[in-house]
Chain A
Amino acid sequence: MRHIISVLLENEPGALSRVVGLFSQRNFNIETLTVAPTDDGTLSRLTVTTLGSDRVVEQITKQLNKLIDVVKVVDLTEGDHIERELMMIKLKASSSSARDEITRTAEIFRGQVIDATPNTFTVQLVGSSDKLDAFINALNGVTLMEVVRSGVSGIARGEKVLSL
C-alpha cells in the first residue's frame, strides 16, 4: 500500500542524507521525496511516499524515529489528509489543434499555461498524484517534451498538526 510519511527534521548538514541513506540501507522504497525548511528555520519538513506492507511501513517509521536528527514522524495515510503535488509539463504546441487540445484539457484540470512559445506550451498543474497522472493521460495526440514533478507534500485535515 502507498503511504505518505511526514518527517520533521533538524535543519542540519547531513540530516537529509541520513534519511535517504536509511531507505537504501534497509531496502525501503521511495516513490517521491520532498524537503524544505519550515517557518522555524531550525526545522525541515520532509515528505516521502513509499510503497510497502503495514509491517514494512511500521519499520520505516520506527527506523526514521531512531535517527537522531529526526524530531517527529507521522504516517499521514493513517488519518484524513490532503496531498498535493506540483507538475510543470512542456508540450509541443506548434499546431492550432494541439494548442486547443492543451488549453481545453488544462482548463478541465484547472491547470495554467505559464509559458508559451510559437512551438511550445508549458502547463502548471497542482493536485494529487493521481490527478497529475490523469492529466497526462488525457492529452490526446499531444507530444510531451518534458515533465517535472515536485513529489508529494501532505498535511493532515482538521486540527491535527505536526509540530514541536
Chain B
Amino acid sequence: MELLSGAEMVIRALRDEGVKHIYGYPGGALLHVYDAIFQQDEVEHVLVRHEQAATHMADAYARATGKAGVALVTSGPGATNAVTGIATAYMDSIPMVVITGQVMSFLIGEDAFQETDMVGISRPVVKHSFSVQRPEDIPTIIKKAFHIAQTGRPGPVVVDIPKDMTTPTERYEYEYPKNVKMRSYNPVSRGHSGQIKKAVELLLGAKRPVIYTGGGIIMGNAHEELTELARSLNYPVTNTLMGLGGYPGTDRQFVGMLGMHGSYEANMAMHHADVVLAIGARFDDRVTNGVDKFCPTAKIIHVDIDPASISKTVTADIPIVGPARDIIKEMIQLVKGAKNQPDAEANKLWWQQIEEWRARHGGRYTINEDGLMKPQQVIEMLSKVTGGDAFVCSDVGQHQMFAAQYYKFNKPNRWINSGGLGTMGFGLPAAMGVKMNFPDADVACVTGEGSIQMNIQELSTCKQYDLPVKVICLNNQSLGMVRQWQDMNYESRHSQSYMKSLPDFCKLVESYGHVGMKVDKFADLEGAMTEAFAMKDRLVFMDIAVDPFEHVYPMQVPRGAMRDMWLSKTERT
C-alpha cells in the first residue's frame, strides 16, 4: 500500500472517483493541497476569479452530466463566498462536493485568521457535511461525500479539512474504498408495487389527465421512459422550470411549462385536470400558486425519490417513493398489460379543449413596429440559430423566463438554470462549467445587464482556459423582473430597478480578449448571432438592446388558482 499525505490523499481520492476537473481558488488553509495539485497532472484545477463561480461551474457540470461536480475553496472568505453556490445546488438537488480548507484543528474556535465555522454556516444548505478529524479518514470521507451527493435525492456535500490534516510530511496508508455502507443512509431503491398498480388504475380511468414532471426526470435520467409512458397514453405533459427538456419541447403532447410564468394551456389543463401524475416535482409555490385553490378537481399521484417532498405542500392521493426511472418503467409495463385502456372519447374531448386553450394564447407577444426588439424575439432567434440544440445556461430574471418559454428544449440536461434559489450571477460560470466539459457543443449564457455584472469577472477565467461561450445579454437597462412587479403591484414606482452607468460591454469584453457585438435592430440579429456562433474559438458577448417595458406573460395572479393569469398588460383570465 502507498503512503500519502493528507493533501495527496485529497487529490488522489478525487482522481480515483473519476474527477477530471476541480474548480477552485487557493488560500492559506489549502496550500498543502494546492502543492499536491501542482505535483500531478491527472486532475486539472480550474482557477476562477471568485469562489462563487467555482461552485456554479461544478454545479453546471453536474446539471449537464448527472455526476457530482467538485469545488475547492479556502477557509474563511473562500468558504463564505461559496455558500451562495452551495445553496443554489441544494435548492435544485444538484450533486456537488465542495472541499473547504479550515484553519489548523487546534486553532478552531479561537477566531483564528480566516477562520469560519463552515460546517455550521453551510448546514441548512447541504445534504450533509463532514469535518475531517484524522488524516487517515480522508479517502473514506471523500467516498462517502460522493455517495451521498449522487444517490437518493442528490445534493451538495461539504468536506471541511483543517490545514493540519494535510501536512505533507505526515504520511498514511492510502486505499480508496470501493464501496461505502452507512447504516443511517439507505435511499429507497424501488417504488412500492401496490402503489404503482393503484396509480396506473387511476391514470387509465382519467378523463382529463395531466402529467406534470420536474427536475427529478432530468437528474433521475428518466426522460426516455417518461416520453414512452406519455405517448402510450396520449396524455398531455407539462414541465416545471427545472424539468424542461425532460419531455421533448416541440412534441404535440407538450403543453409547455406550468406555474407562475407557465403557458396558458398548461395552467388551464392543470386547473381542470381530474388526475395529475406528478413525477420528480415538488409542488413548489411558483408552480401551485395559491395552494388552497390548486387543482380543485384532481386526484394526485406523486412520485418522488424524497419522501419528505410528498404531501409537503399538496396532499398526494397516491404517494410513491422511489427512483422515477424504475417506477415509470413499471408503469409502462402495467399500461401495456392493462385490460382497461384510456377512454378514447374522453381523451379526444380533452385534447380538443387543450387545443382551444393553446390557440387562445400560445405564447404570443406583440412585435414593436419601431424596431426595438422584444426579448422573446431574441430567444426565438437563439433557438433557430442553434437548432434548439445548445446548452442554454441562464441567469435569473425576465430573460430566464423568456428563455424557458421560447427556447424549445428537446433534450434533457440542456437547460441549466437556478430555479429554486434564483441566483443572479449563475449564468456565466454555469456556461463555463458546461463548455469546459462539452467543448464541441454550442453553449449560450442567456443573461441580462443586471445578472451578468454579478460574476462578470469570470470573463478572465474564460480567457485563461479558452472557454468560447456565447453570452446573449438581453439589455433592457433595468432589473426587468423587479421592474415588472413594480409596474404590476407598485404603480410603476421603479425603486432601484433602473441600471444607470452601464459599462460599454463590448469594450469591456474586448479588454478581456474576447469579442463584443452590439445589436439594436432585429434586422441585424440573425446575421450577428449566426456569426457569433460560427466563431467556434472565441467568446462572443452579444449586447442586445431589448424593449425595457416588456413584461413576462402569462403571469399568475398571486395566491389565485392555476387558471388565474394575466395574459398581457391588459388582459386577465
Check if A14 sits within 8 Å of B306, measured CB to CB.
Answer: no
Check if B308 sits within 8 Å of A59, measured CB to CB.
Answer: yes
Alpha-carbon distance A65/B153, docked complex (angstroms): 13
Distance in Å: Cβ of B394 to nearest Cβ of chain A: 28
Total inter-chain residue pairs, C-beta < 8 Å: 34
Check if B183 sits within 8 Å of A21, measured CB to CB.
Answer: no
Alpha-carbon distance A70/B312, docked complex (angstroms): 20
Q: Does B106 contact A (CB under 8 A)?
A: no
Residue of chain B at shortest CB distance from A66: B308
Q: Which residues of A contact B28 (CB under 8 A)?
A: none
Q: Does A164 contact B (CB under 8 A)?
A: yes
Distance in Å: Cβ of B462 to nearest Cβ of chain A: 36
Q: Does B119 contact A (CB under 8 A)?
A: yes
Alpha-carbon distance A39/B117, docked complex (angstroms): 31
Q: Does A58 contact B (CB under 8 A)?
A: yes
Contact with A along B180-199 (1 / 0, CB 8 A): 00111100000000000000
Q: Which residues of B contact A69 (CB under 8 A)?
A: 184
Q: Which of B176-221 contact A (CB under 8 A)?
A: 182-185
Q: A13-B131, A14-B131, A66-B306 are in contact. Are A55 and B311 (CB under 8 A)?
A: yes
Check if A70 sits within 8 Å of B184, measured CB to CB.
Answer: yes
Q: Does B521 contact A (CB under 8 A)?
A: no
* Interface band, chain B: 10 to 19
Q: Which residues of B contact A71 (CB under 8 A)?
A: 183-184
Check if B124 sits within 8 Å of A21, measured CB to CB.
Answer: yes
Distance in Å: Cβ of B121 to nearest Cβ of chain A: 11
Partner of A62, one of B127, B184, B308: B308
Distance in Å: Cβ of B246 to nearest Cβ of chain A: 24
Check if B183 sits within 8 Å of A14, measured CB to CB.
Answer: no
Q: Which residues of B contact A58 (CB under 8 A)?
A: 311
Distance in Å: Cβ of A24 to nearest Cβ of chain B: 9
Q: Which residues of A contact B133 (CB under 8 A)?
A: 13
Alpha-carbon distance A10/B182, docked complex (angstroms): 11
Q: Does B445 contact A (CB under 8 A)?
A: no
Alpha-carbon distance A17/B311, docked complex (angstroms): 26
Q: Which residues of A contact B124 (CB under 8 A)?
A: 21, 25
Q: Does A95 contact B (CB under 8 A)?
A: no
Q: Which of A62-102 contact B (CB under 8 A)?
A: 62-63, 65-66, 68-71
Which residue, B131, B182, B183, has most C-beta atoms of chain A within 10 A? B183
* Interface band, chain A: 10 to 19
Check if B120 sits within 8 Å of A17, measured CB to CB.
Answer: yes
Contact with A along B118-133 (1 / 0, CB 8 A): 0110011001110101
Alpha-carbon distance A36/B123, docked complex (angstroms): 22
Q: Does A18 contact B (CB under 8 A)?
A: yes
Alpha-carbon distance A55/B311, docked complex (angstroms): 8
Q: Which residues of B contact A62 (CB under 8 A)?
A: 307-308
Check if A14 sits within 8 Å of B184, measured CB to CB.
Answer: no
Main SS class of interface, A: helix
Q: A25-B124, A68-B127 are in contact. Are A14 and B119 (CB under 8 A)?
A: yes
Residue of chain B at shortest CB distance from A64: B308
Check if A68 sits within 8 Å of B184, measured CB to CB.
Answer: yes
Q: Does B436 contact A (CB under 8 A)?
A: no
Q: Does B148 contact A (CB under 8 A)?
A: yes
Distance in Å: Cβ of A105 to nearest Cβ of chain B: 45
Q: A14-B131, A17-B123, A25-B124 are in contact. Are A68 and B307 (CB under 8 A)?
A: no
Distance in Å: Cβ of B102 to nearest Cβ of chain A: 13
Distance in Å: Cβ of B352 to nearest Cβ of chain A: 38
Alpha-carbon distance A13/B182, docked complex (angstroms): 16
Alpha-carbon distance A71/B185, docked complex (angstroms): 8
Q: Which residues of B contact A14 (CB under 8 A)?
A: 119, 129, 131
Check if A63 sits within 8 Å of B308, measured CB to CB.
Answer: yes
Check if A68 sits within 8 Å of B308, measured CB to CB.
Answer: no
Contact with B along A15-30 (1 / 0, CB 8 A): 0011001000100000
Residue of chain B at shortest CB distance from A69: B184
Check if A18 sits within 8 Å of B308, measured CB to CB.
Answer: no
Alpha-carbon distance A164/B232, docked complex (angstroms): 44
Alpha-carbon distance A59/B312, docked complex (angstroms): 7
Q: Which residues of B contact A66 (CB under 8 A)?
A: 306, 308
Distance in Å: Cβ of A154 to nearest Cβ of chain B: 21
Check if A68 sits within 8 Å of B185, measured CB to CB.
Answer: yes
Check if B185 sits within 8 Å of A18, measured CB to CB.
Answer: no
Q: Which residues of B contact A10 (CB under 8 A)?
A: 184
Q: Which residues of A contact B306 (CB under 8 A)?
A: 66
Which residue, B133, B306, B308, has most C-beta atoms of chain A within 10 A? B308
Distance in Å: Cβ of A162 to nearest Cβ of chain B: 14
Q: Which of A15-51 contact B (CB under 8 A)?
A: 17-18, 21, 25
Residues of A within 8 A of B (CB): 10, 13-14, 17-18, 21, 25, 55, 58-59, 62-63, 65-66, 68-71, 164
10 nearest A-B residue pairs (beta carbon): A62-B308, A68-B128, A71-B184, A25-B124, A68-B185, A21-B123, A62-B307, A63-B308, A66-B308, A10-B184
- 12 further A-B contacts with Cβ under 8 Å, apart from A65-B307, A70-B184, are A10-B184, A13-B131, A13-B133, A21-B123, A25-B124, A58-B311, A59-B308, A59-B312, A63-B308, A66-B306, A68-B128, A68-B182
Q: List 13 A-B contacts (CB under 8 A).
A: A10-B184, A14-B119, A17-B123, A21-B123, A21-B124, A55-B311, A58-B311, A59-B308, A62-B308, A68-B127, A69-B184, A71-B183, A164-B183
